[in-house]
Amino acid sequence: MFGYAKIGWTGLLIDVGRTSFSLDAYSGSDLGAAGSESLTFGLAAVQQIPAWQTEFYGTVRWFDFDEPGTNYESALSLLTGARFKF
């Protein structure tokens, strides 16, 4: 069993271009191993700069996985980058 939900928003926060944000969550059980529980949350942002034909983006995501008889640490990841169109 699992569930996933995502919500986002796009607007003009600054004059250089549109800004987008999204938040998502996932929860699962018995995936990969009987009795396991998995959970993750993510937050992402994209800033468009049309004058430069560029987008800057970043996301942070937290992961948690529990399995009977095994102890895993939770994890946090960060991803940043840019996309240039030419």
What is the full per-residue pLDDT of the chain (86 aa) written as tens digits?
A: 899 999 999 999 999 999 999 999 999 998 778 889 999 999 999 999 999 999 999 999 999 999 998 889 999 999 999 999 98
Q: Report d(CA 63, CA 27) in Å as an integer.
A: 10
- CA distances to 5, 8, 62, 65 from 23, rounded to whole Å, are 8, 6, 12, 20
Q: Report d(CA 33, CA 15) in Å as an integer.
A: 49
Q: Report d(CA 43, CA 33) in Å as an integer.
A: 27
Answer yes or no: are the C-beta atoms of 64 and 74 closer than 8 Å.
Answer: yes
pTM attached to this predicted model: 0.83
Residue 79, C-beta contacts closer than 8 angstroms, at least 6 positions apart:
57, 58, 59, 60, 61
